[in-house]
Each structure stands twice: as structure tokens, then as C-alpha cells.
Copies of this chain bind each other. A is one copy, B any other.
Amino acid sequence: MADWLDEIRWNDDGLVPVITQELQTGDVLMFAWMNREALQQTVQCQQAVYYSRSRKKLWHKGEESGYIQTVHEIRLDCDGDVVLLKVTQKGHKPAISCHTGRHSCFYKILDAGCWHNVEPVLKTPTDIYENIGTSKEKVIR
């Protein structure tokens, strides 16, 4: 493994949190995790590769749906324990990054003591499912 990977403070599970931001808009699209291999692959292919904690394996974003993220910039924070990606979200216009079919995963806003959904569903998971012919879960992944 390269030295630059050793400068990251991986947590006890060998992971680092990753914030993914859309280059063109500045919108925070999603939050995920990477292990060393995921980050190394991200650098090599210039596409976002995360680590799925639930499935315990690498998750090349868009590998089945085509909703890949091309990576323009990789940043690390002052403490060396959080990564920020600046990406272009591919595969649909307007861009969809969330498994609910929304632009961003951060579509719930707190107002008057309640969470409100403030971003439209650009394509329903069912539509995506039918078009792709695979599971909803796989589609957005």
C-alpha cells in the first residue's frame, strides 16, 4: 500500500468516513465509508468505490445501474480521518445519487419540529427496477 494511505487515520474497523460532494453544484450527495482497498481503487479508476458495511464488501457505485461517480478531487481533513470526494454523478439527468431516486440523500429538512422531504423523486426505484431488471437495492448501487 502507498504511503499516502498510511497517512489516513483508519478507524478500528479499518474504515474512514467519506463525504461525497457534487463538483458542479456543491451539493452534498451522500455519506459512505471506504477501506484501504476502496480508496485505492477509487484513485486508480477515478470512480467512487465504497465499502459497504452491511454487505461487508467493496461497492463500486453504479456498477450495476450505470449511476457511477467520476472523481475529480480527493481531500482529507486536518485530523486525517475524514475523506471528501468531489464528483460528477453520472447515469441520469438530473443527477440521482440516492437509492430513493432523489438527487441527494440529504432530502429531509427539519422544520417546526418535523422532518419534511424537500427534494423530488426524479425516478422511482420501481421504474429503475423495471428498466434494469434487477433489485432496487442493486440499481442505485
Contact = CB atoms under 8 A, between A and B. Distances in A.
A70 to B, nearest CB: 15
Interface residues of A, number: 37
Interface stretch (A58-66, A87-95, A98-106, A131-139): A98-106
Given A113-B2, A113-B4, A115-B4, A108 B75 contact: yes
Interface of A: 2-4, 7, 17, 19, 21, 25-28, 30-31, 43, 73-80, 82, 84, 98-100, 102, 105-110, 113-115
8 contacts: A31-B82, A73-B109, A74-B110, A75-B110, A76-B106, A76-B109, A78-B108, A80-B108
